[in-house]
Amino acid sequence: MVKREEVFCLGMSRAKSASKVVAVCQVCDSVYVSEQKPDGTIRPIGVAADCTCGDGDFRRVS
């Protein structure tokens, strides 16, 4: 069982390494809640690294 303090610490380190954004696939325009890493990489949350259309290029929605 994970202690509450451990969960909080894990969440804090994750927040520093990536931010949640809304992103759209550049091929089919599907929209996903995503993480944007400090290097600019955008990946959808809770699904495969690529879009359902098979493409993996996303852009952040402003």
- pLDDT 10s digits, 31-42: 999 999 999 999
**Mean pLDDT taken over the chain:** 80
15: pLDDT strictly greater than 90: no
C-alpha closest to that of 42 among 58, 29, 31, 62? 58
Predicted TM-score (pTM) of this structure: 0.65
